[in-house]
């Protein structure tokens, strides 16, 4: 099983991800979706961003353990 690492992950901080998340959510709001679609898109964006950040910085949480295992096997 190979381990996937991003050697440049030190260039991305949690603050950077949070800032990008805010910008992305503002963009989603500008699309003019109805309230439930907008909320779903923002929730999914948040999950994807933070899963990615936790993955590249090697923060292991219960739900990420299974995802890392899946990525390593592929």
Kindly report the three-state secondary structure assignment for every residue of the chain: CCCCCCCCHHHCCHHHHHHHHHHHHHHHHHCCCCHHHHHHHHHHHHHHHHHHHHHHCCCCCHHHHHHHHHHHHC
Average pLDDT of every residue of the chain: 80
pLDDT at 1 over 50: no
Q: What is the pLDDT of residue 72?
A: 73
Q: Which comes out higher in pLDDT, residue 6 or 37?
A: 37
pLDDT tens digit string along 39-58? Answer: 999 999 999 999 888 877 77
Distance CA 47, CA 55 (A): 12
Q: What is the pLDDT of residue 54?
A: 81
Q: What does pTM read for this prediction?
A: 0.64
Domain boundaries, the chain: 13-73
Give me 67's structure tokens. Answer: 């995802």
CB 64 within 8 A of CB 55: yes
CB 55 within 8 A of CB 67: yes
């Amino acid at each position: 099983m190979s381990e996937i690492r991003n050697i440049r992950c030190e260039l991305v901080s949690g603050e950077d991800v949070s800032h990008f998340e805010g910008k992305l959510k503002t963009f989603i709001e500008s699309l003019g979706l109805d309230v439930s679609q907008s909320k779903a898109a923002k929730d999914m964006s948040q999950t994807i961003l933070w899963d990615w950040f936790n993955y590249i910085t090697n923060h292991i949480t219960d739900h990420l353990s299974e995802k890392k295992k899946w990525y390593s096997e592929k």
